[in-house]
Every structure is written in C-alpha cells, then in structure tokens.
Amino acid sequence: MYKHSFAKVWLDYLGNEIYINNKRILKPASQEIAFFKQYLNQPEFVITHGQSLLEQEEIKSENEIISLDRLNKLGFTVLVEKVGERRWESGQQVLYYIGRKKINSKETTRSALRDYNIYYDRFNKRVKLEGKYAYNKESRIRGSTGWISLKREFQEPIPEYHSFEEIVEMQNKVWLGQSIKQTTIKEIKVRNEVPIIITEEEQLICLPYEDDMQSIGITGQKGKGKSFTTHTLLDGIHNFFHDNIIFINDSLNQFHSMMSPNNVKTFKTRLARIGLIPRPLPTVNLYLSCPNVEFAHQEEGISFRLVVSFIDFLKRYTYFTRGIKRLNLDGKESYLNEFLYDFEKITSADEIVDLMRMRLPKSKKEDDPYGKMIAKWKPKFDNILNSMFTDNMFQDDDLVSAKWKATIKGEEVIGNPILILAECGIIPIVNTSFAKKFSFFRNTMGHFQSSIIDWQIYRGNLKQRLWVFADEIQDIYEIGKRNDNAKDSLEENFRQGRINSVGYVYNSQSFSKLHEDIKKNTTHLLVTYTQDATERKQIGKNYLMNSDEIDEMAKLKSFEFLAISNDNWVVYDKFGKRTVTSGIFKGKCLPPMSLHLSPANNVQRRVIEQEKMEE
C-alpha cells in the first residue's frame, strides 16, 4: 500500500476512470481504499460557543499601538467634547475620551489624533488613549484615558428576536413571574465557506461561496507565507466548495506532498481551534516534460510526464517558437504541413533530414534551394528534440501521452492530462520547476493555459466550476518582462474567466507589476509584509485604503495578512455570530489541512525538527 495514493481512492469514490493509451491508471488497491476511507467524509469547520479562536500564547503580547480604524472595529471610538469648565490649559477647546460607537455620537478624526497614541492590550482586552487632551471622566486623569475594558464586547451577545410575537411571549413570562429558560447554541457547523484568517479580535474571516466566481491575489515579500496561504485556500476550496481545481504552476517544486495529511503538531493544534483535522488532498503530479526530470512518488503511480503532441507542435510551429529567434524557419513553416505524418514518430534531426531528402530527391544537391533549407533546419530540430517536451520522444513509455481519456458518469471524454484530471475531480499539480529554464517553457505554458478556457467553452452546459491556482505568477507573467504566449493567455484567462465559470488564485511578489486587467479582476487580496512604499501605494490606490491601512502593510509579520476586498467576506465571531461584509481585516492565516513543504525557507521542516527535539 502507498501512503500518497489518496487520489486513487478519491477517483474511485467519485466513480470515474482514467486511461492512458487505453491502459487504466490510478486504480486503488483494496488496502488503500480501507486506509483512506476515513478521509472521504465531507469536512466542516466548527465554532464552539464562547471558546477562544486563538491560542493563549497568541493572546499574550506587548501592548500595541493601533489605529482609529482598528479601534472602530473593536466597537469603540474616540469621542470629542467641548471642554467647558474642565479646561486645564489656556486656549484648550476640546477633550478626548474613548467610548462605544453610537448613532449621532461626536467622533473625532484621524488627523486630529496625529499626536495621540491608542494602546491595545489584547490579553486583558482593554484600550487607552494617551495625548495632550486625553481625559478620563471618572478618575479625571489628564493626558490619558486610562485603561477602558472591552470585555463586554466579547461576552455573549444579547438574544435576537425574529418576530413581535417572540417579544410579547417573553414579556408575558416576565410579568407572570415565570422563569425564562436560557438557551445557547453550543456549536456552529459550517460546510460551504472557506476559513482563511483568524484576527486578533478573534474573528474568523472566510471566503463565501458565490455564483460569480472570485479571483484572489496573495502578495508580499518572499518568505512571508504566500505559498503557505495559497495552499490553505486550495485546501479550503476543494473541501468546502467541492469545485474542480488546476494548479498550473508549481515552479519551486514544493506542492508534491499535498496528498499527505498535515500532521505537524503545531498546525494540528491551530486547526483544532475550529474543529478541523489533518487530511490529504487528491492530487496527481504532472511534470512539464524536459530532460532530467526528478519525479516524486513515481513508484506509487501518481506522477506523470506532461507532454505536447508533436503533430500539434508542427501544426502550430510559429506559436510554440514565438520569441525564439534561433528556431525561425524564415517563413517556410508551411512546408511542415507536407511532412506532418512522416515526422510523427521521428526522434532525431537526422531522421528529419533523411525523410525530407527522400521526398525531395533534388535536395541532395548542395546548391539546391531545398537542400539549403534542410541543412538550416537540422540544428533547429536538434534543439527542439533535445528539449524532450513532445510525445514522439517517449514512444516506448505507455504512460506518456498528450491525450488522456476518462469515463465520467458513463460519458467518455478525451483531452490533455490537466483537463482530464480536473474534470474527474482530481487536482493536477503542474510541476514546472525543471522545465522553466528551457526556451519552450513559456509558450508551452501559454498552450496549456489557453486550453482551460477553450475546454470550458467546449463543455458548454456540462462545464463545471473550475479554479486555477498559480504559485509565483511572475514566472509566467510580469509587465515589462516579455510579450509571449504565457503572458497573452494569462491576461485573456482573467478577462474570460468569470463568464466561463473559472476562478483564480495566484500569488506574486509584486502586485504593481501585474496587468491592469488582472488587478481590476482581483476581487480579494491577501497582503503580507510589503516593504516597498510604491508597492503599498499601488495596493492602497486599487482598494481605496487610508494611510494607516497602507502603512500597516510594512508592519506585518510572517504569516500575518491584511485581507482586503470590496466584495464579500463572511465573518464569524467566537460566539458563532455570522456577518457578511466587505473591508479590511488583519490576522494570521490558518495552516492547510494537507502537508506543505516550503523549499525557500523550510518553515514546516523547521517546525517538524523543533517538535522532534522537544520530544
């Protein structure tokens, strides 16, 4: 039995079958079915009434200075009052104190508090204002409001009544002296929203399921948790939305272990706060073909080579060689059509030369135009075939094909491996870490990216909701780098995605270097530590952020994010109260339920090693 074989069991559970060259793949053994059966249930996250969403060590911290907007989110504000007889300084006109937000209350502005500090003690849940005209009405302390308790905000909410009859019934019981039974909901269970972040105010921020599919960006500096959070979203969208998923670009070779549960003790504890347990994802690794690929878990039958049809390559030669000047055929590409099926199974440039000379006898003469053309073509096709990205180079391997076949609920479907896996409910992880240094990488990525929208259009009324994930999107696209098929197809996918039931999740180190169409169509943005001021201003401009919110991006710690959207978030407090709202929230991302290994900073490896030392 193989421990990475959950995709086989999931495929069997869904009742689908996949074939390569008429050979069935991903068929589970009985032991694998028995072992992975525990993960076939639908997960749900749970909010236990009144239980803290944070660990104790996360609550204990130094008093921090917060913005007025942050204070407002805690349900309080800074109120201003004319000083009257309480003036303690000549020329003083006002005093400031902290109070609850109320309708028609006289609140101050951020600019008026430029020389004041608002302090927040998270552990004791209290705030205070310090500055020249800060005042405590009860103690009459000047220059400080003293600590103001927030604890009422964190107590059980006042009961809500849903009709006039309920209020009358309650009042009658009070008047008659009858006891009123106090009831509380012990647990809130949620299955169709994706939990992402827990804020310092113990709010759980979730992505809602919506018919109009979202596009989610994750941005910030290297090593701060972008890929980690991308993985959390992938976990959630698969487990809570049950949509099809394509992971189009694993450029750092770090997502090949998601078919294992995340059993790291530190992360298990954090997941348990909302009732989640580690579980694997049904992923299959597709390695974009090139020389010297190193396959992970290949012996378990869950890793395959992703190739392009050589016939398709010859038919679209100018597409696949766009921007590669040394492969230019000087406008004679049309001659390839005459040799398409002669070339179908060739594996060397010498074979091409022999076939062309056999079909064009005069080309054997040195001064013949065809002979000169063939001589020029030979080194070009040497380069092409040595790149090993087309199917003709793997004729002896019956597990390599540009086209796979699937049986889905009795329907036979044929397409490229990425589309077939996704259509069957399996998550293809397209590993580009070995191929990205080769010249064909970007145009080949363009080919596979454009096939996604084409597939959704082809499926018509049978198309399913589909999410495309891209790690390190700058490997595929960045303004000013180059114009090629990778860039064009990504832009087009963002324009056409929503109307074709395609949502996107991407991460990038630079939001400002993305095309305006991508930025405009990004409905939700998760921002971690961002040092560059120009980058922060660009994000602030796109999402109408104030100066305090923009500055906050430069203060975020690893795995800490601002969750920003003008569309909807779903917010739960620790009592299970649910609110749908837009806006900005600051908090720490939840870990994924499946295993994530980061090659850049080895975050999870360090955690594992630390836990072993502690044991």
With a CB cutoff of 8 Å and minimum separation 6, the contacts of 438 are 290, 387, 389
Residues 441, 584, single domain; the answer is yes
pLDDT of residue 170: 60
Q: Does 165 fall in a domain?
A: no
Q: Does 275 fall in a domain?
A: yes
Q: Does 56 fall in a domain?
A: no
pLDDT of residue 480: 55
Nearest-CA neighbor of 23 among 404, 418, 428, 304? 404
Residues 219, 231, single domain; the answer is yes
Paired tokens of 66: 């917060």
Q: Whole-angstrom Cα distance, residue 399 to residue 287?
A: 13
pLDDT of residue 107: 81
Q: Does 408 fall in a domain?
A: yes
Q: Residue 590 — φ and ψ, nearest 5°?
A: -75, 150
Residues 148, 31, single domain; the answer is no
Residues 194, 66, single domain; the answer is no
- The angle formed by the CA atoms of residues 310, 311 and 313, to the nearest 5 degrees, is 60
Q: Whole-angstrom Cα distance, residue 432 to residue 457?
A: 26
Q: Cα 511 vs. chain centroid, distance in angstroms?
A: 15
H helix or E strand, kind and range, residue 286: strand 283-288
Q: Does 238 fall in a domain?
A: yes
Helix (H/G/I), strand (E/B), else coil: 23: strand
Residues 449, 487, single domain; the answer is yes
Q: Does 52 fall in a domain?
A: no
pLDDT of residue 438: 93
CB neighbour class for 38 (10 Å; exposed up to 12, middle 13-18, buried from 19)? exposed
Residues 333, 480, single domain; the answer is no
pLDDT of residue 357: 86
Residue after which a domain boundary falls, among 139, 154, 169 = 154
Torsion of CA 204, 209, 215, 216, to 10 degrees: 20
H helix or E strand, kind and range, residue 508: strand 502-508
All residue ranges of the chain with pLDDT < 70 are 1, 56-62, 103-104, 151-185, 478-481, 598-615
Q: Whole-angstrom Cα distance, residue 614 to residue 547?
A: 43
Buried b (16+ CB within 10 A) or exposed e, 61-91: eebeebbbbbbebbebbbbbbeeeeeeeeee
Q: What is the DSSP letter of 557?
A: P
Q: Cα 434 vs. chain centroid, distance in angstroms?
A: 22
Nearest-CA neighbor of 129 among 141, 117, 137, 140? 117
pLDDT of residue 615: 40
215 DSSP β-pair partners:
504
Residues 287, 426, single domain; the answer is yes
Residue after which a domain boundary falls, among 338, 358, 388 = 388
Residues 499, 458, single domain; the answer is yes
3-state secondary structure 409-445: CCEEEEECHHHHHHHCCCEEEEECCCCCCCCCHHHHH
pLDDT of residue 451: 97
Helix (H/G/I), strand (E/B), else coil: 465: coil
CB distance 245 to 466 below 8 Å: yes
pLDDT of residue 1: 54
State the residue for tokens 């399913």.
Answer: 464
Residues 343, 475, single domain; the answer is no
- Cα 237 to Cα 92, 188, 206, 232, 615: the distances in Å are 56, 20, 11, 9, 34
Residues 405, 318, single domain; the answer is no
What does pTM read for this prediction? 0.82
Residues 447, 582, single domain; the answer is yes
Q: Whole-angstrom Cα distance, residue 394 to residue 197?
A: 45
pLDDT of residue 499: 94
Q: What is the DSSP string of 489-505?
A: HHHHHHHHTGGGTEEEE
Q: Does 164 fall in a domain?
A: no
Which residue range forms the structural domain that includes residue 553? 9-44+190-306+398-614
The number of distinct structural domains making up the chain is: 3
Residues 411, 531, single domain; the answer is yes
Q: Does 529 fall in a domain?
A: yes
Residue after which a domain boundary falls, among 330, 362, 388 = 388
* CATH, residue 23: 3.40.50.300
